Copies of this chain bind each other. A is one copy, B any other.
Amino acid sequence: MDAIPIVGGTGALGWGLALRLAQAGHPVVIGSRDAGRAEEAAAKVRAKAGDGADVQGAENADAATRGPIVFLTVPFRAQSENLTNLKDALTPGQILVDATVPLAAAVSGKATRLLGVPQGSAAEQAQEMVPGGVAVVSALHSVSAATLGDPGVTLDEDVPVCGQKKDDKARVAAVIGSIPGLRPVNAGALETARLVEGLTPLLISVNIRNKTHAGIKFTGLPEDLWA
């Protein structure tokens, strides 16, 4: 149980994350509804990540048992169903890293608009749905899937991380920060995820106006962020 599971890892964000984590030397398990599709995606990561990449595919619930820090990278319209399917797979002590963004695109609306979520944010919806003892940490909303999935692009941006406990955030930050060019930043409590989830439609709007795949950086931060 020491790999990094990515539930929904056949999607663009999850796949790019798998690629970068594999390149950083982590064993990765790509999860999908269909184990065959998961293995196909894993094979593509192995081909692109280079020699020695340890990337496997598995059905989502199986994948979720393979490591202490589980990434969830699914569209908002599939988040609830995925979490229901993980109820018997996740165990106390695990961390679920939620990257879900409640874009209005989930209901055929614009990708520059954010839906209201009854719990406050997609991350808080995830926290409500995971088994007791599983902590949700929110991260990776502002990293472009296109950029992440292209190994030719040098990353240089920040990743706001929200959650209730600093220790949990620091563990997630260590994983994300092992990818060259990504700097995890403690952005506050889990409820702050609402504001971070809003970065995605904002960046999409900036991208449309400026024809790019923008990320974000915070200015004025000290050197040693997780001391």
Contact partner of A219 among B211, B215, B221, B225, CB < 8 A? B215
Cβ–Cβ contact B202 & A195, under 8 A: yes
Q: Which of A143-178 contact B (CB under 8 A)?
A: 144, 147, 156-157, 160
Query: A201 at interface (Cβ–Cβ under 8 A)?
Result: yes
Q: CA–CA, A199 to B206, complex, Å?
A: 14
B interface footprint on A187-219 (CB within 8 Å = 1, 0 otherwise) = 111011011101101110110111111111111
Instruction: Given A219-B215, A219-B216, answer yes or no on A196-B192 (Cβ-Cβ < 8 Å).
Output: no
Residue A52 CB within 8 A of the other chain: no
Decide: A215 near B206, CB < 8 A? Known: A195-B114, A195-B201, A198-B198. no
How many copies the complex holds: the figure is: 2
Q: A187 near B216 (CB under 8 angstroms)? A: no
| Residues of chain A at the chain B interface (Cβ within 8 Å) | 112-114, 144, 147, 156-157, 160, 185-189, 191-192, 194-196, 198-199, 201-203, 205-206, 208-222, 225
The 23 sampled A-B contact pairs (Cβ below 8 Å) are A112-B192, A144-B220, A147-B220, A156-B219, A160-B206, A188-B202, A188-B205, A188-B208, A188-B209, A192-B205, A195-B198, A198-B198, A199-B202, A203-B218, A206-B221, A210-B225, A211-B222, A212-B220, A212-B221, A214-B219, A214-B221, A216-B217, A217-B217
* Interface contact A215-B220, CB-CB below 8 Å: yes
| The residue from B144, B189, B220 contacting A213, defined by CB atoms under 8 A apart | B220
Tell whether, in the assembled complex, residue B187 and residue A209 are in contact, meaning their CB atoms are under 8 Å apart.
Answer: yes
A143–B194 alpha-carbon span in the complex (Å): 20
Decide if B195 touches A218 in the complex (CB within 8 Å).
no
Q: What distance in Å separates the Cβ of A143 from its nearest Cβ neighbour in chain B? A: 10
